[in-house]
Amino acid sequence: MANSFRASKHGRKGEANHDAEFSCSLQELRSLMEIRGEEARIRIQECYGDINGLCARLRTSPVEGLDGKSEDIDRRKQQYGQNFIPPKKPKTFLHLVWEALQDVTLIILEVAAMISLGLSFYNPPDAERQYCGRAAGGLKDDSDGETGWIEGAAILLSVVCVVLVTAFNDWSKEKQFRGLQSRIEQEQKFTVVRGGQVVQIKVSEIVVGDVAQVKYGDLLPADGVLIQGNDLKIDESSLTGESDHVKKSLDKDPMLLSGTHVMEGSGKMLVTAVGVNSQSGIIFMLLGASEEGGGGGGGGDSEEKKEKKKECLKIRERKDKKKKNTEMQPLNGEPEKKINLPKKEKSVLQGKLTKLAVQIGKAGLFMSTLTVIILITRFLIDTFVIQGVAWSSECMPIYVQFLVKFFIIGVTVLVVAVPEGLPLAVTIALAYSVKKMMKDNNLVRHLDACETMGNATAICSDKTGTLTMNRMTVVQAYVAGHHYRKVPEAELIPTKTLDLLILGIGVNCAYTTKIMPPERDGGLARQVGNKTECALLGLTLDLHRDYQAIRNEIPEEKLFKVYTFNSVRKSMSTVMKNYDGSYRMFSKGASEILLKKCCRILTVTGESRVFKPRDRDDLVKKVVESMASEGLRTICLAYRDFPVSEGEPDWDNEALILTGLTCIAVVGIEDPVRPEVPDAIRKCQRAGITVRMVTGDNINTARAIATKCGILHPGDDFLCLEGKEFNRRIRNELGEIEQERIDKIWPKLKVLARSSPTDKHTLVKGIIDSTVMEQRQVVAVTGDGTNDGPALKKADVGFAMGIAGTDVAKEASDIILTDDNFSSIVKAVMWGRNVYDSISKFLQFQLTVNVVAVIVAFTGACITQDSPLKAVQMLWVNLIMDTFASLALATEPPTEALLLRNPYGRNKPLISRTMMKNILGHAVYQLTTIFTLLFTGEKLFDIDSGRNAPLHSPPSEHYTIVFNTFVLMQIFNEVNARKIHGERNVFEGVFRNPIFCTIILGTLLVQILIVQFGGKPFSCVSLNLEQWLWCILLGFGSLLWGQLVSSVPTSWLKFLTTAGHGTQQEEIPEEELEEMKDKDEIDHAEMELRRGQVLWCRGLNRIQTQIRVVNAFRDSVSPYEGLETPESRSSIHNFMTHPEFRIEDSEPQIPLIDENEGEDEPPTKRNSFAVPPPLTGLSSLPPNENNNALDRIVPVHKDVPRSVLVPPNSVGLMSCPGSPLHSLETSL
């Protein structure tokens, strides 16, 4: 395609005439953007003449852009809308309160409190009082008659407290998310031309009529029509489902759509639709509308909306069909299939916790039911059998009051047992970490990435910009037959050569790349755009020439054709047309690639001589390799003339165009290693994390830099491979990747040089899928280019560069490094490990309270017919240990000590043996103290016993002391809980966490107030100083006891078990995988909750099914019999994953080498899917991937007809993890 902009006559003159009204309506532009391809070109020609006509109608200039006056911009915003899609309304505080009230235990408590309230106002006839039994004795004293209602009211009040606290937490979490979201959105800028100047503005400021510059890696922020383009290729899969890249040019398809990714090339576009009127905005609003419409009764949907919904579904269906039938057009020409990526598993931690919470909840439910049953039975036996009271209906209300009291006690046991603080603690820990990580230059996009990072075992890092400073400068040059060790003076280079060099650099570097004056005096000049090109432009300035003058003389529109840089070409070429009709092409690129295409070279005199292969080998050895061994990146600059006599060249035949070059110079570009990187890498290695470098540079440069960084240590056993060699080693004779071959390489591989994006993806996938180590590897990847998208997505945690990263990379990533610095990754590891430890600290504390409170309430209730801790007190304890403790313990700042141990790994239980020892050890101390006080306290303190008090009797000193000691022991134990690895000094660094100190002191103060002034509602009596001192002493005792517990070596306690293991993916029943196949991630937490409800019924069913499966195998029946194959459904690009405009999961379509699981079949059969033959016995089962025992066999339903086995078009079925085939294959 020749350069697409022909400066037509009125194109130049069509200066922006902003005063007249716009002669294009919004509707007209919207309908224009709905057509594509040739049809769109014809429509533009018919209606507007050409693109300049459209510019004139929109009162803008294709060259100068808008003039940028604020009144003009405002008028455009009014007429055509803003480039902003309104987010879904956040939930109101009341809504969150309502949600918090849905908690079952709270509802039960509310009901019980209501009944208790109602009954306290009921006065039974006095006459029959004495016949109702002993316990009903002093039911009402005169002084006490009015206070019976207090307990019910207090319970209601504390429920209100709990609800408000929960709602407030949810609200602040949501607010934080929105803040984070808007921060991500604000950081998005786009380049437009205004008033002839190229400026960067916020995406939301773009208006219709703007002329925007698009380049490789951009995510288009609005719809537009191409004005001029170089080799532009767009990935439109997010809108159409077409995985092929669409070529855009003025004469074929000039339409550019918002939400699509620029995969190659550059150009300019005229913005024609923004915000809700752009193509992705329309789909967005439809999805929003259909959600709300569906929610709000749906009946009121207007016809128009229904039409739109149909349209939306059509797009979806079209996309589905495309998904199944499209061939991927890989960069290297061989068609490959886009295979469904395996689902990314969501937070492991959340899964483990929810599982644990469900287990504890079940135990709590069991205990509370038991408590109620025992209380009722004892009461009935005591009243009707031992005292022999006759049944009478007058006593009914009193009996009911007892029942309600018992019921409330049961429910409070349940409330204390259910650790609803767990999810809260995770949220707080993660939200707090995310907020603090912002300060450490980590912008977290997905909360769980933060915690996954703590388990990372491998980091695959880019070189440029991450390990190095990305401030490139030319330091050596080979020009005019001489190798200069530093940049030569201009006088030393022949004029002819110098002119060619300067012209070639000026024209053949992207016009968006510039060197700007420093921001402050004495600073370094600012490099804008591609840093390698900046180095070359810097070279022209060092030679005292001005590249800008060349660009002013030859504006971008005059360039005839540009072959932009991409990862396959590894070079960039620009063609200029001379006045006499001949052409001249300038090229620059990786020296070893470009030198092979040179057949001449410029000499000392400035003339060219023949450049033979032997000369080339000499040059490579003496110059290129010597530069590379010093860690320099080598770039070759060359040119070629196409004389008129040879006729018009075939510009599409790249291989032919890019030969017969004449070499001008080879330059060595230095990119210094960041000073803080070697230390950061040392920390990683000490923390058990392997750092690997994956770079596109040549192997000598890569090795030199890796040694400087400390990735390679001389004398170690390591591998440094080039992409080609790596591919040769991991593929079998048929050219397919084999996991066993990767397994032989990756443990030693430290540097992968000259690697393509596909190699990076293959390596990451290979490490993640590997089973060589006993722990599954958790891989973090850094990337900045568009082509890094697949690897970033595949990794457990993807880091994108905030400064150098393209939009596509940022979309695919989990965390954005706002300073592009490797040492920020080390901070992320610290925070990730800290989250895990914070949760464990909280668990250790909470489970101790749980165990003690439940046992005390249970035993107390059974022996004394009344819980020593009253409902309201229990709720206060619950508040301390859930909400406050989660705040106090989840906000501990990380320390360097976290980096001194190896990663935990994905399968490590949340509660280690040491923690179990601490929990049980402290429980023993607390229970001993409480029971001693409960049963002998009245003798020790010489006070009245509080046991066996009748209903509604006033609170006693005895029970107040029990309650007070209990709470104080928890407060002191909270300090113990700060250490989970058995450290001695529990106070270390306590003042670095102000939140912790505040909460401890606050809780203490409130406790004093409750005991001294709480009175009847809290069932407390004020205590004297001596009693207080005893309580504090007993509380403080738990600190001393803690020292004793940590002295006992854990290795002696072999009988202790660990708890809180996660769910393995293989354990997930297939029905749930079926339900989840629409989602992108397996959300362990949601699953656990749902499972908790279903498990009770499913146990038996599952055993039966498993017996059936085992029998089926014995009868050697095909295990695939009657398995349904899920349709691969997909939503429109998953647009609504968040209320905000985030294009999630749009995979840039770079060929992923063999993503298939069944990798041993020949590649030709990729499209057809053969029905597997019946298995005879277990011998021919698919190879055991996960060594799971046979008891995890997925239920096979025999009642499904055989005919549904495999639909004709289910490509790539084996690798779809949602499919039963896959679960069967992995479980066997």
Tens digit of each residue's pLDDT (9 = 90 or more) over 87-117: 777 788 898 888 888 877 677 777 777 877 7
Rounded CA-CA distance 577/561 in Å is 9
Rounded CA-CA distance 976/451 in Å is 24
What's the pLDDT at 89? 78
Q: Percent of the chain having pLDDT more than 70?
A: 75
What's the pLDDT at 685? 92
Q: Residue 348 CA to chain centroid, in angstroms?
A: 13
What is the mean predicted confidence (pLDDT) over 1045-1064? 73
Least confident of 360-364, 702-706, 1123-1127: 1123-1127
Where does the pLDDT of residue 524 fall: very low under 50, low under 70, confident under 90, or very high at 90 and above?
A: confident
Rounded CA-CA distance 940/933 in Å is 8
Between strands 261-273 and 223-235, the pairing is antiparallel
Rounded CA-CA distance 226/62 in Å is 10
Q: Percent of the chain having pLDDT more than 90?
A: 18
Out of 148-162, 561-575, 1187-1201, the most confident range is 561-575
Q: What is the DSSP letter of 951?
A: T
What is the mean predicted confidence (pLDDT) over 32-48? 85
Least confident of 279-288, 674-683, 931-940, 1124-1133: 1124-1133
What's the pLDDT at 460? 92
Beta carbons within 8 Å of 1021's beta carbon, 6+ residues apart: 954, 955, 956, 957, 960, 1015
pTM: 0.68
What's the pLDDT at 952? 65
* CA-based nearest residue to 210, from 460, 13, 484, 16: 16
Where does the pLDDT of residue 1060 fall: very low under 50, low under 70, confident under 90, or very high at 90 and above?
A: low
What's the pLDDT at 1002? 92
More confident residue, 1084 or 1021: 1021
Out of 236-245, 301-310, 456-465, the most confident range is 456-465
Task: Say how many C-beta atoms besides its own lie within 10 A of residue 1097's C-beta.
Answer: 8
What is the mean predicted confidence (pLDDT) over 331-339? 36
Rounded CA-CA distance 534/512 in Å is 10
Mean pLDDT of the chain: 76
What's the pLDDT at 278? 86
Catalytic residue among 462, 837, 866, 1145: 462
Beta carbons within 8 Å of 535's beta carbon, 6+ residues apart: 472, 473, 474, 667, 669
Task: Say how many C-beta atoms besides its own lie within 10 A of residue 630's C-beta.
Answer: 15
More confident residue, 1172 or 922: 922
Out of 138-152, 997-1011, 1092-1106, the most confident range is 997-1011
**Contact yes or no for 602/662 (Cβ under 8 A):** yes
What's the pLDDT at 624? 92
Instruction: Report long-range pairs for 308-317 (Cβ below 8 Å, ≥24 apart).
Output: 311/286, 312/283, 312/286, 312/287, 312/1132, 315/239, 315/240, 315/283, 315/1132, 316/1130, 316/1131, 316/1132
More confident residue, 1102 or 623: 623
What's the pLDDT at 752? 93
What's the pLDDT at 875? 75
Rounded CA-CA distance 781/767 in Å is 12
Task: Say how many C-beta atoms besides its own lie within 10 A of residue 684's C-beta.
Answer: 24
Rounded CA-CA distance 610/594 in Å is 16
What is the mean predicted confidence (pLDDT) over 208-223? 88
What is the mean predicted confidence (pLDDT) over 1074-1086? 47
Per-residue pLDDT tens digits for 955-974: 888 889 999 999 999 999 99
Where does the pLDDT of residue 148 fall: very low under 50, low under 70, confident under 90, or very high at 90 and above?
A: low
Task: Say how many C-beta atoms besides its own lie within 10 A of residue 886's C-beta.
Answer: 29
Per-residue pLDDT tens digits for 200-210: 888 888 999 89
| Annotation says 1083 is catalytic | no
What is the mean predicted confidence (pLDDT) over 817-830? 87
Per-residue pLDDT tens digits for 1151-1180: 443 333 333 434 443 444 444 444 444 444
* CA-based nearest residue to 796, from 1146, 1133, 346, 181: 346
What's the pLDDT at 347? 62
What's the pLDDT at 126? 53
Query: CA-CA distances (angstroms) from residue 952 to 144, 146, 405, 527?
Result: 8, 11, 10, 79
What's the pLDDT at 930? 92
Query: Over 50: is that where the pLDDT of 435 sits?
Result: yes
Per-residue pLDDT tens digits for 871-920: 778 778 877 777 788 888 888 888 888 898 888 877 777 788 888 888 99
What is the mean predicted confidence (pLDDT) over 257-283? 87
Q: Which helix (H) or strand (E) holds 234?
A: strand 223-235
First to last CA, the chain: 55
What's the pLDDT at 1209? 44
Q: What is the DSSP letter of 776?
A: P
Task: Say how many C-beta atoms besides its own lie within 10 A of residue 265's C-beta.
Answer: 22
The C-alpha angle with vertex 418 and arms to 417 and 419, in degrees rounded to 5, equals: 105
Per-residue pLDDT tens digits for 721-747: 999 999 999 998 888 888 888 998 998
Q: Which helix (H) or strand (E) holds 448?
A: helix 447-453
Per-residue pLDDT tens digits for 379-417: 888 888 887 777 777 777 778 878 887 887 787 777 777
Least confident of 460-464, 658-662, 760-764: 460-464
* CA-based nearest residue to 428, from 216, 751, 43, 170: 170
What is the mean predicted confidence (pLDDT) over 500-529? 84
Query: CA-CA distances (angstroms) from residue 912 to 185, 837, 895, 908, 953?
Result: 41, 11, 21, 8, 45
* Number of residues that make up the chain: 1228
More confident residue, 1110 or 82: 82
Per-residue pLDDT tens digits for 1112-1143: 444 433 333 333 333 333 333 333 334 333 43
Query: Over 80: is that where the pLDDT of 259 sits?
Result: yes
